[in-house]
Chains A and B, each alone.
Chain A
Amino acid sequence: MERTTRIDDVMLMAYVDGEVDSQTAREIEATIAADPAIGRRVAMFRQTATMMRGAFGEVLHEPVPERLLRALGGGAAVAPAAAAASVVPMRGHPEQRGYLWRNAGWAAAAAIGAVALLNAASQQGVAPFAQRAPVQEVAATTDAERWIDNLAAWYRVHRASFEKDQRLLVDIGAENIDELERWVGAKLQREIAVPDLSSFGYRQQGGRLLLIGRRPAAQFFYATETGELVQLVIGFTDQPDREGRLDQRDDVNVVSWRERGYAYAFIGRIDGKRLWAMADATWAKLKPA
């Protein structure tokens, strides 16, 4: 028996969106093959969905403002596991702190002192330390502090999601680590070998790209068998080299440093000394060639 169906935009769109049954889909496909105008219409509906995902996809990769976390109850307190955490709070700097800059290049960087912080995409043409006016130092510190805030906020969001769904939002998983390294390496204009943290009990989970200060940055995920999460972020920076530093935001620790135009940070809700040890074990391999 023959049946007639009125094909209109709504039906074509429903076909593109997978909202029609298989028989109707086959009928529409036959029509597309016979009528280029219908085919173009279908392509348009498909393209608009793709364009929308692309146009708004970046938002997911942006750091979540601290004020939104606070609106939900205030920083780490909103995460039940965080509230029950048995994390050893940071008490001063780790004993082995010096090891990170046991390198001639770090000696001068160490003199930068308290101003040194990550990510200054908005800081153009920063003058040498000795010539910088105090107001510039304050601005640099404020911006970088915000970046540390964002790293910690990011971490908390991912950790809460990881605890709930046992999966991470990664662009490329650990099973394709070579592809991940090539991809982020191209974006960061350098070779990158995703560090192996298995000696610390952490397995690679994959990674994704972020936009920091309108420039690409790589974010790698690691997790223990019990689900403890650690992140490594690598991005561009216009700031001078800077020795390793440990910051704490609530129960999240951040170990960060800068070298040769790149900023690095390990983020985790683990003991600061342990996080520091990870950075200490990997920083030399992370240096750009």
Chain B
Amino acid sequence: MSGGVDPAIQAELVALLPRLRRFARGLAGVPDQADDLVQAACEKALSRIHQWTPGTRLDSWMFRIVQTTWLDQKRAQKVRTGEGRVDADSPLVEAELSVDGAREMESHITYDAVRRAMATLPDEQRAVMMLVCVEGQSYKEAADTLAIPIGTVMSRLSRARTALGRLVGEPATEAAGNVVRFKPEGS
């Protein structure tokens, strides 16, 4: 399958595997399902490696393939909801997000709760969360990776983080002072 692929590119893809697995984990939630997703994405990438433009970022290209593969799988309803994934309306998640303990200290919040909360977000929000918050991509880079406008990245990211903000007891409402009068320095 990989015959004809530049060995240097293959080596780069291998080096990317940990980050691809992490990205896929954020999308799929379930480890085995995430690795299935990475495997499918790698096979797809090798079959269309000629479409990658040398000099551009291979990681962003791969993230894009992982994300589109995930959406394709979901559309085809090949992905089941398994352990670790929960529906947005699940009483379990609602209860977990609203426990008083979670409001007291950040240290009370388990990473598992974060992952569960991520699993309740729409797919498109999960993708920008992983790219910006975890991968450290800029808004522009995330927009390029996902082929969406930068404004869309920002709005999805804001909604997703507001939802996760409930874990630290921050309400979902917007900041109070909507309009602030600024004075430039020296005035």
Contact = CB atoms under 8 A, between A and B. Distances in A.
Interface string A138-171: 0000000000000000001100110110000000
Interface residues of A, number: 62
Nearest to B20: A68
Interface string A43-71: 11101110111111111101011011101
- Chief secondary structure at chain B's binding surface: helix
Contacts of A14: 139, 154
Contacts, number: 190
- Chief secondary structure at chain A's binding surface: helix
B16 to A, nearest CB: 9
Nearest to B161: A48
B179 A69 contact: no
B15 A157 contact: yes
A164 B129 CA distance: 27
A73 B49 CA distance: 13
A152 to B, nearest CB: 13
B10 A72 contact: yes
Interface residues of B, number: 62
B187 interface: yes
Interface of B: 1-2, 5, 7-8, 10-15, 17-19, 21-22, 25-26, 35, 38-39, 42-43, 46, 106, 109, 111-112, 114-115, 118, 129-130, 132-134, 138-139, 154-155, 157-158, 161-162, 164-165, 167-168, 170, 174-185, 187
Given A44-B168, A73-B46, 5 more contacts: A2-B183, A40-B170, A58-B111, A72-B42, A157-B15
Q: Across chains A and B, which 8 residue pairs bring their CB atoms closest together, nearest first?
A: A73-B2, A80-B7, A55-B114, A44-B170, A52-B133, A59-B22, A55-B111, A161-B15
